[in-house]
Structure 1
Amino acid sequence: MGVFEEDDSVKVSTLVKLWVSEGFLKPMNGKSLETIAIEFLQDLVDRNLILVDKVGHTGNIKFVKIHDLLRDLCLNQSKKDGFYHVIGQSSPRGISSQHRVVIPRNTPKKKVLDDLQSMPHARSIISEYGNVPRIKNSGLLRTLHAYKFHHYFEDESLLKSLASQYVNLRHLVVEVGSMSSIFTSFTRLWNLHILIVCCWKEFTAPAEIWRMPQLRHIEMTERSFYLPEPSSDDVVVMENLLVLKSIANFKCSEEVVKRIPNIKKLGIKYFWRGGIEQDDYYCLNNIKLLCKLKSLSVMCWNFRASLYVLTFPQSLKKLNLSINRGFEWEKILGKIGALPLLEKFKLLRGCFGTGKWEMVEGQFPSLKYLELGPCPSLEHWTAESNSIFPRLEKLRLVHMELKEIPTQIGDIPMLQKIWMDYCGESAVMCAKEIVEEQVEIQGEDLPFHVQVKLSCKNEAVQSLAGPNFEVICDS
């Protein structure tokens, strides 16, 4: 924790990836290294050594912090043991033998240059500094985690040498202007576990990526990337691959399914491609075969009929669907509502051809968080029974013009909060009625809270504000 800046809110997934890549964790009882890492982190939280800073919508820890005094202890102990060296600080053992390097964001450029050139045995660089030079003996480097690395790769020769020189890299998190040069010698990175790149141009990954069995996490930010289908001649099964995000026009063929049997998180984006007329060209019905998949995100800005054949594995816990307005949700909501373990569901855009969504008893048995909108075609949201969303804790409605909301929502025993961001007045009034009804039943001390956000002043809505009904106006 000492490698992060003072008062930083540290992303749990970042911490876990670093622990895994540094080799701090060992397999136990058939659990993945990531699962073991979360258990260790929870233990630190339970001991009050690590502070929870932000919790996700389903209760998982997203961000953590460390008390300043404990961070100082980390820094002092690391200096004493030579565990890592923070550039700009003294080291009782000298810096030439240091294996781990931390570069704070405001370090003077000259100090970075001088110290890095004096550290021929560096194995890990964790940096928030933008312009980091190449280091000597870079073949030893195993972890390169940089948040502001764009300037480092402005030199095309440095970019081309990345994959050829850093042959022992396990963890690569960088920002680049182009991926093409990295991929020219990508096949030499046989030890790579984590590949997260912020790239501002779309690109196609090399087919050789299917021959790298150590990969655990592949993700591109800002732009998506195209992943070619594996060749039938390749026999490598990516058993370690758990996360695959930001893939453009992903074709989930049977050959692909066989290569990623243990995938847990999958993020796909679909764009229009002319000349494709088959209903299931992208083989989305095969997603149900990914029997260990827990999180699925599908975004589509150009309507394709093949999306109606989307099928989901029973293991799914999180589902994010953002589809253009021509897509009729009624045709697949039955399949989604039947998922037994689904805890988080975002339904964004799309439309309701009938203008109605009638909840059926027994749907969404495990759902904790539901987000809807913007979906202006949905006007009537009703329920045929009193038993809906038995475990729902949080509901968010965004740019919705609902005329009614199921009154049964107020009866959900685990409900904590309802957000209504820029929704129509009818929906807001309906939510107020739900609150008033529950106040009559339970009293003023309700277990849930409603927060309404307005884009402009609305005296009628603002007058509804009360102890359990908050109204916020942007202007």
Structure 2
Amino acid sequence: MERTAETYLKDFVNRNLLMVLKKRADGEIKMCRFHDKLYEFCKDEATKTDLFHEIDGDRIEVSHYKYRRLCIRSSFEDFIGSEYKPSGEHIRSLLASHKLDVPKQHLATIPKSYPFLKVFDAESLKFEILPKEFYQLYQLRYWAISTENNIIPKLFTHLWNLQTLVFNTSQSTVDVKAEIWNMPKLRHILSNASLQLPPPNSESCKENSFELQTLSTISPKSCTEEIFDKTPNLQKLGVRGNVSELLESKESRGICLFDNIRKLEKLENLKLMHEAFSDEASTPRPIIPQANRFPSRLRKLTLSKTSFDWKDICVLGSLDKVEVLKLEEFSAQGESWELNVNVVFRSLKFLRIGRTDLVYWTCEHSSFPALKRLHILQCEKLNEIPLSFKDVKSLKIIDLFHTNKRAATSARNIRDQKLKEWDYLELCILPPHH
């Protein structure tokens, strides 16, 4: 389904019906929008056919039309509290874009007014609590919410048609009490917190097959063999928490939870985000696994606050299929990163280095033979970008954000050297006076 939608999306872009606003690190479309005239045309046509209705402004008008999709761009509090608001069984999608806290007295009216919702995109709203009436939206396919809760309750299991859950919370960890392994239609679970998943230990769990493709983010303790045995189709995995728990070997057998990730044969995107909670702050620096312990089809790897040694990052050069490597803030620590001729990131097209204490960086032009874009962010101590990048023929873009004048000067030198060889390089330096 996703592949087919992506094909149509690219076709619209190629025909100039859509404008691409943002691309992913691998060059794929991340965000797009209609041209203004086309947007107005589509909105008018959707309104005529009772497909879509937009409420934008303080006035809420009574309408006899049977709109299936409703978008609220005005105050959601005024809308949901109005006795004149459009409602009924015909509405299948409800989208809200006005950021605010929803009063408790209005919460239960949402599922009562729209009992057959399939899409409820309320990520911009904040729910302090979720009344039990929400778990009676049995037709719900997509649910995006923001809340203060640190629990996904057992009642959540009643949403047996749900395919996508976007769960944002102010809490750092969330305990999943729901029996998600009894929800075989789930395809994507995304959260800004660390989800502690329940074990799939019941007989009914064992009977179900799963199409789960996205789990991001879950706790290191949830990376068990039992859980990943239930998710063989997982393509994207994010792990947030004490990464040492994921990487440290158990007893004398040399086995760790990370070895379970290796068994995910379809995994293409992996994020490891270290966050120490409470007494975990004093845990020792983790050691990066050897390349043969990573999933075989991995294309994208993101590390954040993992504090690996820079020499250990060289291990990742043996991941021949990795095209995108994001070394976010303090994913590696140390003043020096030296890559000798034996370290080659063969397929890497995008490299980002976030905030770090890196000072000296040396590499050969053969270290990154396929690199197209280099993104350096807040590396304020970095002396220079290695001059060897001038000989990387595939390199087309260098972005420097809040580094220093020395690094900026070296980047300009690389650009000038490539221009002498009639090889164009796009260079972006912010602030521009660096």
Same fold by TM-score greater than 0.5: yes
Equivalent position amino acid for 1:94 in 2:
H
- Give the secondary-structure state (helix, strand or coil) at the position aligned to 2:355: coil
**Structure-1-length-normalised TM-score:** 0.76
C-alpha distance 207-436 of structure 1, shift in aligned 2 (>3 A)? same
Task: Kindly indicate whether residue 120 of structure 2 is the aligned counterpart of residue 141 of structure 1.
Answer: no
- Residue in 2 that maps onto 1:461: none
Counterparts of 1:44 and 1:436, CA distance in 2: 37
| 1:22-421 alignment runs, 5 A limit | 33-87=1-55, 94-95=64-65, 97-106=66-75, 109=78, 113-116=82-85, 118-129=87-98, 130=100, 131=102, 133-136=109-112, 138-150=114-126, 153-154=127-128, 156=129, 159-163=131-135, 165-180=136-151, 183-201=153-171, 202-206=173-177, 208-221=179-192, 223-231=193-201, 233=203, 234-236=205-207, 239-271=210-242, 278-279=249-250, 283-302=257-276, 307-309=287-289, 311-325=293-307, 327-331=308-312, 333-334=314-315, 336-348=316-328, 349-351=330-332, 355-360=336-341, 363-377=344-358, 379-383=360-364, 386-398=365-377, 399=379, 401-421=381-401
**Matched position secondary structure for 1:246:** strand
- 2:416 & 2:217 partners in 1: Cα distance? 44
1:242 deviates by 0.8
> Over residues 18-58 of structure 1, what are the superposed CA-to-partner deviations in whole Å (9 max), with x where a residue is unaligned?
xxxxxxxxxxxxxxx11111111111112222222222232
Structure 1's 436 and 113: CA in aligned 2 closer, same or farther, altered over 3 A?
Answer: same
Matched residue SS, 1:291? coil
Q: Per-residue CA shift, 1:144-183, capped at 9, x if unaligned?
A: 1123221xx34x4x523211x2122111111122153x51
Return the alpha-carbon distance in structure 1 between the equivalents of residues 42 and 408 of structure 2. 50
Give the counterpart letter for 1:102 in structure 2: C
Q: Is the 8 A contact 1:382 1:405 kept in 2?
A: no
Deviations 1:386-444 (A, max 9, x none): 423222111122315344543221122222221233335544443344334334433xx
Deviates more, 1:103-112 or 1:206-215: 103-112
After superposition, the C-alpha distances for 1:55-84 in whole angstroms (9 at most, x for unaligned) are 223211111111222122212211221112
Distance 1:138 1:440, change over 3 A: closer
The letter for the 2-side match of 1:315 is R
Deviations for 1:60-113, whole angstroms, at most 9, x for unmatched residues? 111111122212221221122111233469999823x33322222357825873
Counting aligned pairs with the same residue, the percent is: 28
Amino acid across the alignment from 2:349: K
Query: Residues 343 and 368 of structure 1 are in contact (CA less than 8 Å); yes or no, is this contact kept in structure 2?
Result: yes
Corresponding residue SS for 1:380: strand
CA distance in 2 between counterparts of 1:84 and 1:225 reads 35
List per-residue Cα deviations over 1:277-325 (Å, max 9, x = no partner).
7457751022221111111110114555665336322211111111343
**Residue 238 of structure 2 contacts residue 271 of structure 2 at CA under 8 Å; is this kept in 1?**
yes
Matched residues in 2 for 1:185 and 1:207: separation? 7
Q: Contact (CA 8 Å) 2:179, 2:198: kept in 1 or not? A: no
CA distance in 2, matches of 1:378, 1:301: 25
Q: 1:103 to 1:52 in 2, by over 3 A?
A: same
Tell me if the contact between 2:154 and 2:178 (Cα under 8 Å) persists in the aligned partners.
no
Could you tell me whether the CA contact under 8 Å between 2:94 and 2:119 is conserved in 1? yes
Cα 1:83–1:424 change in 2 (3 A) is closer
Distance 2:363 2:111 in 1: 63
Count of aligned pairs: 409
Q: Paired residue for 2:279?
A: none
Q: Which shifted more, 238-247 or 399-408?
A: 399-408
The offset of 1:355, in angstroms, is: 2.7
